[in-house]
Structure 1
Amino acid sequence: MNFLRTGLRISFRGLPRSSSFTARLPRFQQRFASYQRFPGRGGGSGPSFKPYSNFGPYARVQYIWRNYQKPVLVVGAGGTTFYVFNLEEVPITHRRRFNFISPETEKSLVSDREYQSLLQQFRGKVLPREHPYTQLVAKIVERLLPSAHGLDGGDWKVHVIDDPNMVNAFVMPGGKVFVFTGIMPVAQDENGLAAVIGHEIGHNVAHHVGERLSRQFFTIAAAFLVSTLFDVSGQFGSSVTDLILTLPNGRTQETEADHIGLLMMAESCYDPRRAPELWKRMAENERKHGGAPPQFLSTHPSSGTRGETMQKWMPAAMAKYDESDCSITGHAMDEFRRLTDIGRSVRRSAPIPIFTGGSNSSDDDWF
């Protein structure tokens, strides 16, 4: 008997113990090591699989495919069908994109409570409706709206916020326009301000809010997939998907809004050649205040890139400008720039039909 025990010890001395063997496996592989069946071992009746890869992410893909193949195929086929069924063309630019939120739903998502919250946030800074800045912004909005296909029938309201440090403007879905006075020196004249407002209205023409909300389903799924396959935190997975998916899509939308706004300017008899000049001034303003983040880390293209891209669209914009018979209006605009600047009073002989909210009245589409 002692001889038999000694022989068994010698026989098993060269084999790895179970705990030390599984310790060498990736964590995911350790977890599911008991489910593996290796050909030629033990004569078991279970299925014979090749061992999982030593590369963690690939091992996890192998495990999911072997154990959840049918659900993966069903979800994949359903997701692909849903994606293809909800592809549509963006107005004006004709870009194909995924969006299942209708314009009516998009508008309803921005509630009156959020609008009132913004007014409360800027309380005391909203310029009155008779202020020259408010009058000028309302004039530009009124002039651009006939070129904003599908948006001219909304409940449009204009608010100018007295904040010289905020170089910004945005338009909420449904037609709530907010312009900060910090953008005025960069815009310089009515054409420059029309480029700013045209860009913001362009986001609404393209229904970019609905598109961003629609893409969140795929972004969340992609973040979960990255976290699962690479065994990292959900926050890290979200950061990766933002860098790969969210930020590039944001830059695409900003470029598209530039394109739509430029064509709207031209159709409304604002000189589209002034738009690239705006972005040169914007780049200079950014340099004065410490510069902008790298383009690949931003939702916006760099100001220099935006000006250069606009030059590629200029022939089409000038053709639309000429088709609109804008020569007389263009001369009037030149005279306006010669006699006055954006900081002086702008008078109109007729009342402005757009409500211009101010201190005497009861997005994430940032410029």
Structure 2
Amino acid sequence: MNPVGFARSSTGMFATRVMRAAFTTAARTFAPASRPTQFTSFQTSRGPLSRNIHPSPSQWRSTFRLAQQRTYASYNYRRFGGSRAAGSLLRRWAARPTFYYEVGGIGGVCGGYYIYNLERVPVSGRRRFNIISPQYEEQAGQAQYEQTLSQFGKSILPHYTKEHQMVQRVLDRLVPHSGLENEKWEVHVIDDDMKNAFVIPGGKVFVFRGILDICQGDDGLAAVLGHEIAHNVAHHMAERLSEMYILAPVSLAISVLGGIDYRLIDTVGNLALSLPHSRRQEEEADYIGLLMMAESCYDPSAAVGLWTRMEQAEQGSPPQFLSTHPSSHNRMEKIRSWLPEAQQKSETNDCHVTSGYGLYNRVQSLGLP
């Protein structure tokens, strides 16, 4: 059938209607279609007029395929539009004539609040931000204490074991030099090979049996307990809670206003702020604990031997910049640099008297039984 006969037939008329419907559907978009800026001229050949008006059968087939296809791009649909909305919010705020005054006011209020809550850490003298009271810190410590008991309660050694008595003996000499004599101290030795120990605010001491092999005596254990008690002396838990209460809203505000994924902000903040801050606290606890054990007439050089053995026992530890603690090697070097000050502290407290009579007088002067 020639093109003219096909166009006059019923099939041709149906195809013509389908083609027109397809063109009409394709033109219905949410964005207005662009219009040509110049007139379009249609050139015709010298052949019959029907050759220019009626398309060929191959063109009809392409028209049918076009009508059957669905074009979603014209709707400009986006499944996730949070970043665009956040950027729009930030742009609208920045467009306000009082934008710089508002930013300056917010910065001034936040800066004043930060400066107002600065305080000095005992012994080390470091200035830090803290908004948590000792009472609230102790309440948080009580919750942690109950959780630890529920986890390790069945593995705690009785008080008459030699491990428990060793920890109690060293603790009794350290506490009078900690400034925390009024806390209700309790010793818990966990029958586990883990090489760890910690002291929860409120005087709750937990020592894993595995670390006693690394300590190799009272002096090494005094280095461990002195470090853990020092965390409570410096109120490091309160400092970490204060940091969390400030960084979490700031990270959320940056995520909302800047349209940045909160997980990315949290990762960057952890690497850039939280982990370095945690390592600084650990270093500070090493310093305070070293002076504490020196005042208690323990050999401060035993701390160097302790971390030497810890370095040998560590297997597959992460790099320091990914850890909450400094590496054992770096801790040894820091402690070596502090040893002259610690030894001077020992001489000031007459710890050079090593005889049983001298030690007895020293214990009596501390008011211990």
TM-score for both structures, normalised by structure 2: 0.71
Query: Is 1:197 aligned with 2:225?
Result: yes
1:86 and 1:98 in contact (8 A); partners too: yes
Matched residues in 1 for 2:207 and 2:83: separation? 56
- Counterpart residue identity of residue 175, structure 1: G
SS at match of 1:179: strand
- Counterpart residue identity of residue 115, structure 1: Y
Query: Is 1:303 aligned with 2:331?
Result: no
Matched residues in 2 for 1:219 and 1:197: separation? 31
Distance 1:30 1:128, change over 3 A: closer
Q: Deviations over 1:164-213 (max 9, x none)?
A: 1x110000000000000010111111111100000000000000000000
Matched residues in 2 for 1:209 and 1:268: separation? 25
- Counterpart residue identity of residue 312, structure 2: E
1:87 and 1:97 in contact (8 A); partners too: yes
Q: Tell me, which stretches of 5 or more residues in structure 1 are unaligned?
A: 1-7, 14-18, 33-55, 333-352, 355-367
SS at match of 1:9: coil
Structure 2 matches for 1:108-119, cutoff 5 A?
A: 108-111=139-142, 114-119=144-149
SS at match of 1:110: helix
Query: Is 1:147 aligned with 2:177?
Result: yes
What corresponds to 1:237 in structure 2?
265
Matched residues in 2 for 1:153 and 1:96: separation? 25
Distance 1:168 1:66, change over 3 A: same
1:254 and 1:301 in contact (8 A); partners too: yes
Query: Is 1:88 aligned with 2:119?
Result: yes
What corresponds to 1:268 in structure 2?
296
Q: Tell me, which stretches of 5 or more residues in structure 2 are unaligned?
A: 1-34, 41-72, 357-367
Q: How far 1:114 sits from its partner (Å)?
A: 4.1
Q: Deviations over 1:277-307 (max 9, x none)?
A: 1111100000xxx321110011100010111
SS at match of 1:314: helix
What corresponds to 2:168 in structure 1?
138
Distance 1:189 1:30, change over 3 A: closer
1:169 and 1:179 in contact (8 A); partners too: yes
Distance 1:317 1:29, change over 3 A: closer
TM-score for both structures, normalised by structure 1: 0.71
Q: How far 1:225 sits from its partner (Å)?
A: 4.6
1:169 and 1:180 in contact (8 A); partners too: yes
Q: How far 1:229 sits from its partner (Å)?
A: 6.1
2:190 and 2:209 in contact (8 A); partners too: yes
Query: Is 1:168 aligned with 2:193?
Result: no
**From 225, 248, 251, the counterpart of 1:220:** 248
**From 29, 36, 39, the counterpart of 1:9:** 36
Matched residues in 2 for 1:64 and 1:306: separation? 48
Name whichever structure is richer in helix by fraction.
2
Q: Deviations over 1:143-168 (max 9, x none)?
A: 0011102x11110000100001x110
Distance 1:70 1:282, change over 3 A: same
Distance 1:195 1:11, change over 3 A: farther
Query: Is 1:323 aligned with 2:323?
Result: no
SS at match of 1:318: helix
Q: Deviations over 1:338-360 (max 9, x none)?
A: xxxxxxxxxxxxxxx99xxxxxx
Kindly indicate whether structure 1 or structure 2 has the higher relative contact order, using CA contacts under 8 Å at least 6 residues apart.
Answer: 1
Distance 1:293 1:229, change over 3 A: farther
- Counterpart residue identity of residue 260, structure 2: V
Q: How far 1:70 sits from its partner (Å)?
A: 4.8
- Counterpart residue identity of residue 234, structure 2: A
Tell me which moved more, 101-110 or 137-146: 101-110
Matched residues in 2 for 1:64 and 1:106: separation? 38
Matched residues in 2 for 1:214 and 1:269: separation? 35
What corresponds to 2:234 in structure 1?
206
What corresponds to 2:51 in structure 1?
none
- Counterpart residue identity of residue 227, structure 1: S
2:220 and 2:303 in contact (8 A); partners too: yes
Q: Deviations over 1:6-64 (max 9, x none)?
A: xx832799xxxxx99x99xxx889659xxxxxxxxxxxxxxxxxxxxxxx8xx986654
Q: Deviations over 1:60-94 (max 9, x none)?
A: 86654334545433332221111000000000000
SS at match of 1:138: helix
Distance 1:303 1:30, change over 3 A: closer
Aligned length in residues: 286
What corresponds to 1:347 in structure 2?
none
Q: Deviations over 1:85-108 (max 9, x none)?
A: 000000000000000112222112
Q: How far 1:228 sits from its partner (Å)?
A: 4.2
Structure 2 matches for 1:33-182, cutoff 5 A?
A: 64-67=93-96, 68-111=99-142, 114-149=144-179, 151-164=180-193, 166-182=194-210
What corresponds to 1:344 in structure 2?
none
SS at match of 1:328: coil
